[in-house]
Chain A
Amino acid sequence: MLEVAGIRHSYQSQLVLDLPHWRADEGDQWLLHGPSGCGKSTLLHILGGLLTPSEGIVTLAGTELGTLRGAAGDRYRGRHIGIVFQQLHLIDAITVRQNLTLAQRFAGLPVDEARATEILTVLGLADKANAFPFALSHGQAQRVALARALINRPAVVLADEPTSNLDDENAARALALLRDQARAHGSALVIASHDGRIKDAFEKRLELPARREAAA
Chain B
Amino acid sequence: MNALALAIAYLRRRPLNTALNLLLLAIGVGTIALLLLFTDQLQKRLQRDADGIDMVVGAKGSPMQLILSSIFHVDIPTGNVSLGNAQTLAANAMVREIIPLALGDSFRGYRIVGSEQNYPAHYRAELADGAWWQEPLEATIGATVSSEGGLVIGDIFAGAHGMASGGAQHAETPYRVVGVMAPTGTVLDRLILTSIESVWEVHAIHDEEADAHDDTEHIVESQSGSGGVLAHGDPDQEVTALLVKFRNPIAAAQLPRQINMQTPMQAALPGYEIARLMQLVGAGIDGFRAFAVVLVISAGLGIFAALYNALAQRRYDIAVMRALGATRGTILRQILLEGVLLAVVGAVLGLLLGHGTAALAGSWLRQEHQIHLVGLTWVHEEIWLIVMAVALGAVAALLPALQAYRIDISKVLARG
Contact = CB atoms under 8 A, between A and B. Distances in A.
Given A41-B414, A45-B410, A85-B320, A108 B325 contact: yes
B321 A106 contact: yes
B1 to A, nearest CB: 4
Given A70-B327, A98-B1, A103-B325, A92 B410 contact: no
A184 to B, nearest CB: 21
B416 A86 contact: yes
Given A71-B327, A89-B320, A107-B325, A94 B1 contact: yes
Interface string B305-345: 00000000000110111111111111000000000000000
Nearest to B321: A106
B12 interface: yes
Interface residues of A, number: 34
What 5 pairs across the A-B complex have the smallest Cβ distances? Answer: A78-B325, A51-B410, A106-B325, A71-B327, A107-B325
Contacts, number: 82
A83 B413 CA distance: 11
A86 B323 CA distance: 14
Contact of B10 (A50, A93, A105, A215): A93
B12 A102 contact: no
A34 to B, nearest CB: 15
Nearest to A91: B317
A83 B323 contact: yes
B261 interface: no
Contacts of B325: 74-75, 77-79, 103, 106-108
A102 B414 contact: no
Counting chain B CB atoms within 10 Å of each CB, which of A74, A78, A215 scores highest?
A74
B6 A102 contact: yes
Contacts of B322: 50, 74
A51 B410 CA distance: 6
A93 B9 contact: yes
Nearest to A73: B327
A216 to B, nearest CB: 5
A87 interface: yes
7 contacts: A51-B410, A74-B322, A78-B324, A78-B325, A94-B6, A102-B1, A102-B6
B416 A87 contact: yes
B13 A78 contact: no
Interface in A6-64: 41-42, 45, 48, 50-51
Contacts of B352: none
Interface of A: 41-42, 45, 48, 50-51, 70-71, 74-75, 77-79, 83, 85-87, 89, 91-94, 98, 101-103, 105-108, 111, 148, 215-216
A115 B258 CA distance: 90
B409 interface: yes
A50 B9 CA distance: 26
B262 interface: no
B2 interface: yes
A192 to B, nearest CB: 11
Contact of A50 (B6, B13, B317, B323): B323
A83 B13 CA distance: 25
A81 B12 CA distance: 31
A84 B322 CA distance: 14
Contacts of B316: 87, 89
Nearest to B10: A93
Nearest to B313: A92
Nearest to A215: B414
A70 B326 CA distance: 10
Given A93-B13, A102-B6, A85 B413 contact: yes
B411 to A, nearest CB: 9
A74 B326 contact: yes
Nearest to B12: A93
Contacts of A75: 325, 327
A48 B322 CA distance: 11
B409 A107 contact: no
A80 to B, nearest CB: 10
A83 B414 CA distance: 13
A156 B283 CA distance: 70
A50 B321 CA distance: 11
Contacts of B410: 45, 50-51
Contacts of A51: 410
Contact of B414 (A74, A98, A107, A216): A216
B40 to A, nearest CB: 42
Contact of B323 (A48, A94, A215): A48
Contacts of A71: 327-329
A102 B324 contact: yes
Contacts of A89: 316-317, 319-320, 413, 416
Given A41-B414, A50-B409, A50-B413, A98 B321 contact: no
